[in-house]
Amino acid sequence: MGNLYYYTTLLSGVIALTLAALLAGLRIRVTDGLQKYNRARWCLVGAFAVFGVLSLVEIILGGTTGEEAGSLTGCLVIVIGSLMAMFFTMTVLSFIHPQFVHRKQVFLQLAVIVPCGLLLIILRLHVFRALFNICFAVMLVAYLLLMAFYTRLFVKSYREFKTQMLSFYEEEDLVGQLHWINWTFWLALSVGIMALFLLAGNRVVSCALTIVFTFCFLVNAISFVNFKSFAPLVDRAVTGKTGKKTLGVGDNPLIINGLKDRIDAWVDNKGYLDNTKSVEDIAAEIGWHYHGLKQYIKQTTGEDFRTWRIRLRVEEAIHIMTANPDIPVSHVATMAGFNDRSYFYRTFQKVTGKSVKAFQDSLKKG
């Protein structure tokens, strides 16, 4: 079991350092609205690097997980767990609450966690065991409080983030595609909590958890890279960047008729299929102020802008399926502007009153 533990820890450390190097070498043009994405990248690099380096340090120290909780490995668990919790939380918050995450904030937290961790290790090596045990217990409580603080901060920030995204883009589908941010945090939190099981000193448990941690790192790295296309969209919404203000709706019938013509042209061009544009983007396209556009849609259709645009997409889906009853549903969803198939199913049934399958069956029966 000793060899298995050694090689598992070594492999996990090497993978973490490799991921850190790959992400550090990732070319990101911050001028393309990716400043927050770049900041998150370095936080994630920090998390991987910390785990990789300290895993190798643990191997060099001889892999002391067989000792009681007050061992050097116990100290490393607290230090690694605290640093990873900080870096992973800062990574996620870089997307959903960028105002909170800045260089000073990160260094301030490092200035607290690192000295405390070093002090704990020094106490383990040079003072009476009773004093160390007291300090270790205090650090363990502080670690749990840190987890609770980050959880509370994330829950509040994620709630605000969803509201901002939905308000700016009025796109439930787009918000749904970003739900991975939510489960990524909870995955990282679970890793932080599971790390406490390492204090039991069981090498079987240590090997299993090391494999779980490595898998989580790979998932986080892949999710982060895939998020690049969404980063500018999120940045616009959470930082409140708006489009240019143009002409609004008044009581002048000529103005209203002009807006109607522009909206009709936008609908004819199927502009509603693009789910990456906010109401402001659409208003800028047709040369109108977004408040006036939303007001006009509400007055003429009785629907808010989001409901109106979704209805247009569902009508497009109906047109596609009517023209080709055998077309796969996944193709229909994509062609009608829905990136999430389950969301398409729910929306279609909500708008039409029948499921996609029932509608397709009715077409085939004819």
What mean pLDDT value characterizes the chain?
81
Tokens of 145: 């409080």
Would you state the pLDDT for residue 366? 63
DSSP for 298-316?
Answer: HHHHSS-HHHHHHHHHHHH
* Residue 66 in this model has a pLDDT that exceeds 70: no
Q: Distance between CA atoms of 262 and 293, rounded to whole angstroms?
A: 10
Tokens of 329: 């549903």
Listed as own residue / partner, the contacts of 289-296 with beta carbons closer than 8 Å and 24 or more positions apart are 289/245, 289/246, 289/247, 289/248, 290/243, 291/248, 292/247, 292/248, 292/249, 292/259, 293/249, 293/259, 293/263, 295/248, 295/249, 296/249, 296/256, 296/259, 296/260, 296/263
CA 294 to chain CA mean position, Å: 29
Q: What is the pLDDT of residues 218-245, one digit of tens each?
A: 888 888 888 888 888 888 777 765 544 4
Q: At 274, is the secondary structure helix, strand, or coil? A: coil
Burial of 191 from C-beta contacts in 10 A (0-12 / 13-18 / 19+)? buried
The neighbour count for residue 56, using CB atoms within 10 Å, is 17
Would you state the pLDDT for residue 211? 86
Q: Distance between CA atoms of 165 and 160, rounded to whole angstroms?
A: 9
Q: What is the DSSP letter of 324?
A: -
Would you state the pLDDT for residue 201? 65
pTM: 0.72
Q: What is the DSSP letter of 100?
A: T
Q: What is the pLDDT of residues 69-92, one digit of tens each?
A: 345 666 777 777 888 888 888 888
pLDDT above 70 covers a percentage of the chain that reads: 88
Render the burial of 28-43: b for 16+ CB within 10 Å, e for the rest: eeeeebbbbbebbbbb
Name the residue with higher pLDDT: 160 or 199: 160
Q: Residue 324 contacts by C-beta under 8 Å, 6 or more apart in sequence? A: none
Would you state the pLDDT for residue 245? 46
Q: What is the pLDDT of residues 277-322, one digit of tens each?
A: 888 888 888 888 777 888 888 888 888 888 899 999 999 999 999 9
Q: Are 350 and 172 in contact (CB under 8 A)?
A: no
Name the residue with higher pLDDT: 347 or 242: 347
Q: Distance between CA atoms of 67 and 135, rounded to whole angstroms?
A: 18
Residue carrying structure tokens 């050694």 = 6
Burial of 338 from C-beta contacts in 10 A (0-12 / 13-18 / 19+)? buried
Please tell me the least confidently modeled range out of 125-139, 182-196, 233-247, 322-336. 233-247
The neighbour count for residue 361, using CB atoms within 10 Å, is 12
Tokens of 211: 């494999």
Question: Phi-psi region for residue 302, left (φ > 0), alpha (ψ -120 to 50) or beta?
Answer: left
- 253-365 maps to which CATH number? 1.10.10.60
* Sequence spans of domains, the chain: 2-239, 253-365
Would you state the pLDDT for residue 123? 78
Would you state the pLDDT for residue 14? 92
Listed as own residue / partner, the contacts of 29-33 with beta carbons closer than 8 Å and 24 or more positions apart are 32/232, 33/231, 33/232, 33/235, 33/236
Q: Are 33 and 232 in contact (CB under 8 A)?
A: yes
Would you state the pLDDT for residue 247? 45
Q: Distance between CA atoms of 2 and 309, rounded to whole angstroms?
A: 61
Residue carrying structure tokens 């007001």 = 295
Angle formed at CA 230 by CA 17 and CA 35, multiple of 5 degrees: 65
Q: What is the pLDDT of residues 5-64, one digit of tens each?
A: 788 888 988 999 999 999 998 888 766 667 778 888 888 898 899 888 878 877 776 544
Q: Are 54 and 248 in contact (CB under 8 A)?
A: no
N- to C-terminal Cα distance for the chain? 66
